[in-house]
Amino acid sequence: MGKKALLIIPPERFNEDELFKPKEALENAGVEVTIASTKTGEITGDYQGKTNAEVIFSEVSSSDYDAIAVIGGSGTNDHLWENKELLSYLKQAHKQNVLVTGICAGAVTVAKTSLLTGRKATCYPVDVQKNELKSNNVEYVEKHVVAHDDIITGDGPDGAEEFGNNLVEALS
């Protein structure tokens, strides 16, 4: 379909299902997927799965993509939640009408941009994440996926396939 998606993962400990399932759904629909992080090269997931970050997110223009997804994993809390550069990158993408999405801890990252203030979203159903949503004035909903026209959030590994399908639907 000639669309492009940028999947942003932490520089270590990404969640394999949250990366690979949406990636597969997007690629099967003909979307060109690029994996980005805060560094390039091989990155190891929470369960020793490996992937290759092709680009550093801040070195590519968000407007080159139709969708951006922040992927979860234990590394996301540590490396992406407080990454000011990433938060402003997501805000900029949103301004350019790029679909901004996040799954699990990645959904929390999106909530921290204030783009979801006063709106509903989902995240992994643990207090540390739900409290982050609340403190950013986002209403937590216990669902696999909460899709707005401009922002999609997913809850985690169990919802990863549905999250991927929602991205495909939003791009088609």
Instruction: Report the alpha-carbon angle 62-65-5, nearest 5.
Output: 120
Quick check: 64 and 33 in contact, CB under 8 A? no
Alpha carbon of residue 28 to chain centroid: 19
Residue-averaged pLDDT of the chain: 97
pLDDT in tens, 21-50: 999 999 999 999 999 999 999 999 999 999
| Apex 36 CA angle, 35 and 41, nearest 5 | 90
Place 125 in a pLDDT band, splitting at 50, 70 and 90: very high
pLDDT (tens digit, 9 = 90+) per residue, 111-123?
999 999 999 999 9
Report CA Rg, the chain: 14
Domain that holds residue 112: 4-171
DSSP conformation class of 138? -
Res 2: pLDDT: 87
CATH code: domain of residue 133: 3.40.50.880
State the pLDDT at residue 79: 98
For the cut 60, the answer to whether the pLDDT of residue 1 exceeds it is no
Amino acid 7: pLDDT: 98
**pLDDT, tens only, 95-104:** 999 999 999 9
CB 138 within 8 A of CB 128: no
pTM, rounded to two decimals: 0.98
Q: Count the helix, strand and coil residues of the chain and give each as a percent rounded to the nearest 5.
A: 40, 25, 35
Number of domains in the chain: 1
